[in-house]
Amino acid sequence: MSPFNPVWPVRSHRGYLAFVVHRVSGVGLAVFLPLHFLALGTAIGGEAALEGFLRWTDHPLVKLAETGLVLLLAAHLAGGLRLLALELLGWRDWQKSAVAVAAGFSLAAGLLFLLNLGL
């Protein structure tokens, strides 16, 4: 324990890490939302504009970004379910493992999406 920062042990706890991941994934999803609306707006511009945008999404870097988006969605979902369990079920010893389960779920969802892409 650091004598200069008494909060340090709390911030190294798994629950704090889960809190940070949940918040960062939420901010990442909020940043993505206007880009999603922009993509939907290309459909208003006509079939050619939408086709050009869809062709752009076939690039490998965009596919990698989509995988990151799926990871963000899965992390936010798993973190939210973990928080619901904490709120509704009360504290139990097994909930310490919920952070690991949430992380495993998120990684599995991202890997399954990446494998489905067939890059």
Mean pLDDT for the stretch of residues 69-96: 81
In a domain? residue 105: yes
pTM of the model: 0.69
pLDDT at 79 over 90: no
Binned at pLDDT 50, 70 and 90, residue 5 comes out as low
In a domain? residue 77: yes
In a domain? residue 86: yes
In a domain? residue 38: no
pLDDT at 12 over 60: yes
In a domain? residue 35: no
Residue written as token pair 């379910």: 81
**What's the domain count of the chain?**
1
**What pLDDT shows up at residue 26?**
93
More confident of the two residues 55 and 103: 55
Binned at pLDDT 50, 70 and 90, residue 47 comes out as confident
In a domain? residue 97: yes
Mean pLDDT for the stretch of residues 41-48: 87
CB 60 within 8 A of CB 117: no
In a domain? residue 42: no
Q: Domain range for residue 111?
A: 14-30+59-117
In a domain? residue 83: yes
